[in-house]
Structure 1
Amino acid sequence: MAASKSVLPALALSLILSTSALAQTAPPPTVELGPAPAQDESAVVAELTVVAKPPGPAVWLVEKDGARLYILGSAPPLPHQLKWSSPRLEKALDKASLVLVPPEASVGVTQIASFVLRFGAGLRQPLGKSLEDQLPPDLKARFVESRTQARKGAGEYKNWKPAVAGFLLLSDFRQAAGLSEAKPVSTVERMAKARKLKVKAVGQYRMSAVTTIASKLSADDQLYCLRVALDEIAYDGAHSTTIGQDWAEGDLASVRARYRASAAQRCLIHAPGGAELLEKGLVLTTDAMTQALKRPGVTVAVVDLGFLLPANGVLDRLKAGGATITSPVE
């Protein structure tokens, strides 16, 4: 989810709750985000998910030639007030000499899409045109409702085309709802700073690549991206007080069910060159993890779950390269 700006897709709520306190709380409405764009699951994740979960978010230990790399899977957005702890991560940081974080400009799958849409060329309305006047009635009604919930006026988005307006509104809505697109990366950076550890981004995306993709969005793609962004706003609004709990508790099955259907990933898949950009991000991250395994000692990395959960993702590629991957229990 989430993002994850990474985003978490819809999760069906259990009909039978185990405690009376939960039973007295009305479940949030179901929000259908449709089928996930990627159906296959990482073989490594599938193998290790059946292991009893230690406390805290999912952490994988990657080992090769004596080097150790601890990978924390991130799933933004997370509630600003979410309290989470991970003894495994704390102990890994105590032993580490380097912490790897995603590129600042695009932290994971959702941030790549936001970068494309916000800074790309050809995404402003023509002179004299206004966004809401150009939208089909159903989309206009949904857009107005969502921006009202985000406490924003029409003027905030009137000069943008539908796709960029949708993702800007998604970000504004999350801010109003108390959800942080910077977490958990910002939290881990603070933990590293407290230990005086070196923090390094895994790489950088070229502006020319993202602006080229943005300029090729068709009118239909623009409306599609707006629709999926509004769907995600509806989901976040229905779950703003509970989103992030599955991640914090290491419930990968539930996280996967929601996270792999993010609006950003759906939008990028529709954009010419978007799938290739996602692959570049995957390669960039995998290469950084591979280099970390060539240095002695312990490295900690924060990697978007959008790069970890799919088949042939970062974990699968590291294993194929000869690394041993386990779920640390210490």
Structure 2
Amino acid sequence: MRRLIAGLAMALCLAPAISHAQELIDPEAILLDELIVEARLPGPAWWKVTDSDSTVYVLGAPSALPRGLAWDQTILKRRLDGANRLILPAAATAGLGDIGGLLALRKQARRDVQPLPPPLQARVEDAAVRLGTKGERYLEWRPVAGALMLLSDNRKAMRIDPAEPHKAIGKAAKKARVKAGRAATYEAVVLGRAVLAAPESAGLTCLDVALEEVEAGPVVFQATARAWAEGNVRAALDGRRSYDLCINGLPGMADQVNQANAAQAAAIAAALKTPGHSVAVMSLRSLVSQNGVLDRLRRDGLTVTTPDQ
């Protein structure tokens, strides 16, 4: 269950189009070309949001990186110097009060599990061999839960570090004595309930998307991570979005994504009320999508400067 909840949380913290993506709801499907540019400064791309007397520097970040990937933190450290605060992306959390609910969800996710179509079951078993596990590990759960566990195991096998780049960013903020806080938090139990409410068709599509990621191997993920580190925004967005597509296709989760983007935009706008500058770290796709964070801030009359300027 920890892997399931970790996967759900990672997906909200935030690709070529996957062949089955059209079957899943995707509130961040449309990207705004004018925001997708190549950075002029070294390292990952930064956007800037300003009003008359204050600035928020916004770093677009992936939810995870390959272990050992080096990236230039020069601009990050420069902008943290003297910053009022560091705004972290919205994320799901599981507190002590959630434990009972999570245990109950674990039992429910294993009830009334129907056999998969033989071709799909064969692919699950082949994927398990690739990952050094057994097919039963994924087949004993409802399809959407099994898919999220499969994705977590695959990221582990590809040596993907779910703590980065946010761990490095937090360490730099601590060294600069900048207080960090999330734009918003959501209960992990809500996400677990969405898994249970997913119709069979959405679960099977999610499982198919997860299998495509396993079958593709680590090459695409590594390439998009390097592109992010080099400030190539378009190439960084060109990776697989398996977690996002699975989560967004669950009942009510598209609304949750929109609420998260609204909360993140509001946190940046609130930081602008304090003279000086602050730093924000947001999911790269949530920044540049239609009705995403930067789109909302522009509509509110704030000035957004892109990384190429």
Alignment correspondent of 1:60: 47
Question: More helix per residue: 1 or 2?
Answer: 2
Q: Deviations over 1:102-145 (max 9, x none)?
A: 24536xxxxxxxxxx99957752227x6x8xx222222222222
Alignment correspondent of 1:300: 279
Shift of 1:267: 2.4
Is 166-175 or 320-329 further displaced after alignment?
320-329
Superposed CA RMSD in Å reads 3.2
Shift of 1:70: 0.8
Change (3 A) 1:90 1:118: farther
1:79, 1:244 within 8 Å by CA — same for their partners in 2?
yes
Alignment correspondent of 1:80: 67
1:71 aligns with one of 18, 42, 58: 58
For residues 30-49 of structure 1, what are the structure 2 equivalents within 5 Å?
A: 37=26, 38-42=28-32, 44-46=34-36, 49=37
Question: TM-score by structure 2 length?
Answer: 0.81
Structure 2, unmatched stretches of 5+, are: 1-6, 94-101
2:56, 2:277 within 8 Å by CA — same for their partners in 1?
yes
Determine helix, strand or coil for the equivalent of 2:144.
helix
Change (3 A) 1:33 1:79: farther
Structure 1, unmatched stretches of 5+, are: 12-30, 107-116
Alignment correspondent of 1:279: 258
Task: Give me the whole-angstrom Cα distance separating, in 1, the residues matched to 2:196 and 2:8.
Answer: 22
For residues 1-330 of structure 1, what are the structure 2 equivalents within 5 Å?
A: 5=10, 9-10=15-16, 37=26, 38-42=28-32, 44-46=34-36, 49=37, 53-105=40-92, 124-126=109-111, 134-207=115-188, 209-239=190-220, 241-258=222-239, 262-327=241-306
Q: Give the aligned residue type for 1:206.
A: E
Task: Give me the whole-angstrom Cα distance separating, in 2, the residues matched to 1:70 and 1:64.
Answer: 12
Alignment correspondent of 1:110: none
Change (3 A) 1:118 1:273: farther
Question: TM-score by structure 1 length?
Answer: 0.76
Shift of 1:67: 1.4
Task: Give me the whole-angstrom Cα distance separating, in 2, the residues matched to 1:289 and 1:145.
Answer: 45
1:44, 1:315 within 8 Å by CA — same for their partners in 2?
no
Task: Give me the whole-angstrom Cα distance separating, in 2, the residues matched to 1:33 and 1:75.
Answer: 22
Shift of 1:71: 0.7
Aligned-pair identity (%): 27
Change (3 A) 1:323 1:186: same
Task: Give me the whole-angstrom Cα distance separating, in 2, the residues matched to 1:244 and 1:191.
Answer: 20
Task: Give me the whole-angstrom Cα distance separating, in 1, the residues matched to 2:83 and 2:263.
Answer: 22
Determine helix, strand or coil for the equivalent of 1:254.
helix
Task: Give me the whole-angstrom Cα distance separating, in 2, the residues matched to 1:176 and 1:80.
Answer: 11
Q: Which of structure 1's runs of 4+ aligned residues deviate more than 4 A?
A: 31-39, 117-123
Q: Give the aligned residue type for 1:90.
A: K
Count of matched residue pairs: 291
Determine helix, strand or coil for the equivalent of 1:311.
coil
Change (3 A) 1:60 1:119: farther
2:109, 2:141 within 8 Å by CA — same for their partners in 1?
yes
2:39, 2:307 within 8 Å by CA — same for their partners in 1?
no
Shift of 1:299: 1.1
